[in-house]
Amino acid sequence: MKKEFPIIQYINGNGELVNEQKEVNEEEIKHFYRHMLRVRLMDKKCLNLQRQGRIGTYVQYEGQEAAQVGSALAVSEGDWMFPTYRDHAATMTFGQSLKTQFLYWKGRVEGGIPPEDKHIFPPAVPIASQLLHAAGAAWAEKKKHTDRVSIVYFGDGATSEGDFHEGLNFASVFQVPAVFFNQNNGFAISVPVEKQMNSKTIAQKGLAYDIPSLRVDGNDVLAVYQETKKAVNRARRGEGPTLIEAVTWRYGAHTTADDPAKYRDQQESEHRRLTTDPLLRIERLLKNKDWWDETWKVQLEEQFSDEINKALKEAESVEPAHIDQVFQHVFEKPTWTIEKQRERHHQIIKEAH
C-alpha cells in the first residue's frame, strides 16, 4: 500500500530541489524559514520556562515545524483552524499572539481565545474530537454558501479513535470543504504506529470514505505548503475534503512529563537533526542557491527573541488565574454539585492555611 501512497517531496535533506515542476524564489523560501525559525525559538523558550517552573506541563513540537508552518500558510483569512494541544506552531503562523500562547501554558482561560478576526478553535486535548468540530464547521460554511475551508490537525494515534472515522465519513457524505491534516510522528505517546494499526499508511484510510488522500514529507515545508494548498483550493471550489499524511519526526518527548528514552532510540533523533531537520534543509537550499546570509539569520534570531521576551513579560504581568475559574466554566449556570465542590475546595484551602 505504501507504493500506492508514495511520499511527496520537493526539497530533499541536502537542500536540493527534486520536483522539477516547481520553481522557487528567494523571497518565498526565506518566508518559510522566518516562520519556522520564529516558532522553533518559541518552542525552546517554553521548554526552558517549564524547566524553571514558570509554566506548567508543556507540549513540544520541535522537528514538526515544516508540517505545521507549511500547512498553516496554505489557508487564508476567514478559514477555520482546529488544532490539537501540539499545534501552536500552526496557530502562531495563522495569527495567534505569542502572549496568548504563554497564557495558555500558564493555565489561563484567555489562552484559548483567538484574535477577533481569526477562526481558531481552542486546542483540543481529547484525542480526535476536533475532527468532528472541523467537519461540522465546514458543513456550516457550505450551507451558508461561503468559500471558507476548515483545516484540522491530529496525530497518528488519533486515527485509531472513533471520532476520526466519524469525522471522515461525515465529511465524505456531505462533501464538506475540509482538509484533514495528520502529522505522523511514528508514535502515539509510547506506542509505535505499527502496534496501534495494521494499515501500512494513514493516507490509505481515506480510501474507505472515497476521500482523496496523499502522503507528504512532513519535514519539507515546500512540499507541505504546495500539497496543502492544492487540497485547500480543491475544498474551496466545492470538490470536497482531502486527507493528508505528513510523515515527520519530533525530537522531544510527548510532553515534559514524559521520558521518551524508555521507548524510543534517542540516537535516532540526533541523527535526524543532522539529516532531515526542517530548518537545516532550508538553510542548505539557501546556501545551494547562494541566497544564504548568516547576518540575516542572527538578526532574525534577535528580532524573534525580543518579540518572545516582550510577549512573556506581558503574559507574566497578568494576574494569576483564580481557582474559581475551574468551576465557572463547566456549565452556563453552576449546578449544585459544582457549587458543593467549589465550597469544599475553599474549605480545604482555608484549613491548609
Assign 3-class secondary structure to the chain.
CCCCCCEECCECCCCCECCCCCCCCHHHHHHHHHHHHHHHHHHHHHHHHHHCCCCCCCCCCCCCHHHHHHHHCCCCCCCEEECECCCHHHHHHHCCCHHHHHHHHCCCHHHHCCCCCCEECCCECCCCHHHHHHHHHHHHHHHCCCCCCEEEEEEHHHHHCHHHHHHHHHHHHHCCCEEEEEEECCEECCEEHHHHCCCCCCHHHHHHHCCCEEEEECCCHHHHHHHHHHHHHHHHCCCCCEEEEEECCCCCCCCCCCCHHHCCCHHHHHHHHHHCCHHHHHHHHHHHCCCCCHHHHHHHHHHHHHHHHHHHHHHHCCCCCCCCHHHHCCCCCCCHHHHHHHHHHHHHHHHHC
339 grid coordinates: 457549587
**Nearest CA to 60 among 76, 48, 77?**
48
Q: How many C-beta neighbours within 10 Å does residue 331 have?
A: 10
Residue 205 CA to residue 168 CA, distance in Å, equals: 9
Positions annotated as catalytic residues are 250, 254, 263
Rg, Å, the chain Cα set: 21
Which amino acid does the sequence have at 169? Answer: N
